[in-house]
Amino acid sequence: MIFRRPTAEDASALASFYNDPAVYTGLLQLPYTDAAYWRKRFTEPSAGAAEFGLSLVVFRGDQLIANGGLFPAAPAVRRRHVLGLGMAVAGAWQARGIGSLLLRSLLEHADHWLGARRIELTVYTDNAAAIALYRKHGFEVEGTQREFAFRDGCYVDALMMARLASSLRAPL
């Protein structure tokens, strides 16, 4: 497996990846994005995301199997210590440890290179596997957002989860 930053050349692979129902049903991402959308997203990132975040793609051979990233949670100066997190794993690779590897890579970068004090995310309440993964890596539920998003014809709830650096155990 290769973990690296995405490039414009990954646009077609990203479009295919995010058009998989096993991927987009767990995200706010809409289906049917094309390669041009992804090419633009990774060649013209927002200023804050480029400077203070990280985006990773995970390939096995020529197959994109996961994508994730850290991004500034808000433009407010007083929230510079906070990062948002988003990630997805290809349907065929779910429940095989890829999510843990990707999440661990992102968290290590946040902790050791970006100095993040708080990492937050939103996850649908029916995504039990993702919730378990996030809990395993120190995230805690902070609240429920009712009717958070419109998905497949109905409104769905989401959990707000966060991981605080101050609540992590010191390394041995």
Task: Please report which confidence band the pLDDT of residue 74 belongs to, taking 50, 70 and 90 as the band edges.
Answer: confident
Six token digits for residue 58: 């995970």
Q: Which two tokens mark 169?
A: 């155990």
Domains of the chain (ranges plus CATH)? 2-121 (3.40.630.30)
Q: Would you list the DSSP string of 27-55?
A: SSPPS---HHHHHHHHHS--HHHHHH-EE
Mean of pLDDT over the chain: 90
Rg, C-alpha atoms of the chain: 16
How does pLDDT run across 124-135, given as a tens digit for each residue? 999 999 999 999
Query: Do 123 and 134 meet the contact criterion of CB atoms below 8 Å apart?
Result: yes
